[in-house]
Structure 1
Amino acid sequence: MNTPTEIIRSFYDKLASGDARGALGLMAPDIEWITMWHYQVNGRGPERVAEDLFKPLMAEWSSFAFVPTEFITEGDTVVSLGEFTGVHAMTGKKADARYAHVWTVGDGKIARFRQYIDTRAVAEARRS
Structure 2
Amino acid sequence: MTANPTDVIRDFYDKLATGDAPGALGLMAPDIEWTTMWHYTVEGRGPGPVAEGLFKPLMAEWTSFSLVPTEFVTEAETVVSLGDFKGVHGATGKTSEARYAHVWTVSGGRITTFRQYIDTLAIAQARI
Question: Quick check: TM above 0.5?
Answer: yes
User: What stretches of structure 1 move > 4 A for 4+ residues in a row?
Assistant: none
- Whole-angstrom distance in 2 between the partners of 1:6 and 1:106: 12
Q: TM-score, normalised by structure 1?
A: 0.99
| Deviation string, structure 1 residues 37-66 (Cα, Å, up to 9, x no partner) | 000100000000000000000000000000
2:15 counterpart of 1:14? yes
Q: Tell me if 1:5 matches 2:3.
A: no
Query: What is the deviation of 1:114?
Result: 0.1
Question: What residue number does 2:31 align with?
Answer: 30
- TM score, norm. by length of structure 2: 0.99
Post-superposition shift, 1:14? 0.0
Report the secondary structure of 1:95's partner residue.
Answer: strand
Structure 1 position 125 matched with structure 2 position 126: yes
Q: Secondary structure at the match of 1:79?
A: strand
Percent identity over the alignment is 72
1:107 shift after superposition: 1.2
RMSD: 0.4
Say how many residue pairs are matched: 127
Pairing 1:1-128 to 2, within 5 Å after superposition: 1-127=2-128
> What amino acid maps onto 1:112 in structure 2?
T
User: What are the ranges of 5 or more consecutive residues in structure 2 without an aligned counterpart?
Assistant: none
Q: Deviations over 1:54-110 (max 9, x none)?
A: 000000000000000000000000000000000000000000000000000011100
Amino acid aligned to 1:39: Y
Deviations 1:106-128 (Å, cap 9, x if unpaired)? 1110000000000000000001x
Q: List gaps (5 residues or longer) in structure 1.
A: none
CA distance in 2, matches of 1:42, 1:98: 25
2:100 maps to a residue whose letter is Y
